[in-house]
Amino acid sequence: MSVLVFFSMTPLGKGESVSEFVARVVDIVDKSGFEYVLTPMGTIFEAPDIDSAMKLLSDGLKALEQDCNRVSITAKIDYRNSPMGRLKSKVSSVKEHLGRDIKST
């Protein structure tokens, strides 16, 4: 099984730039061992099951709640009963349909 998760976790009331806080959460994603892509608007990762995906989101929130009284979380989850590897294969499929390379990470 494969769970793709796009999420953005933003503390509120911490000023215009929140990259210091985003870095905490990205560090947790990076250390999870899951494949992921950091984008300017959020992070996408692939987990083997819904429980580990939700735990990663929970761990990210715990890293912020120590000094952030309010956190906005946006998440989009794509569950599919298929092998892991969709983080890359979905982009490859679009490139194949176009018949050319496109900008992607």
**Model confidence pLDDT, tens digit, residues 77-104:** 999 999 999 889 989 999 999 999 998 8
Q: How confident is the model at residue 60 (pLDDT cuts 50, 70, 90)?
A: very high
Q: At 46, which helix (H) or strand (E)?
A: strand 42-47
Helices (H), the chain: 19-32, 50-65, 86-98
Class of domain 2-98: alpha beta
What ranges do the domains of the chain cover? 2-98
* pLDDT tens digit sequence for 15-32: 999 999 999 999 999 999
Helices (H), 33-102: 50-65, 86-98
Instruction: Output the pLDDT for position 51.
Output: 98
Instruction: Output the pLDDT for position 104.
Output: 80
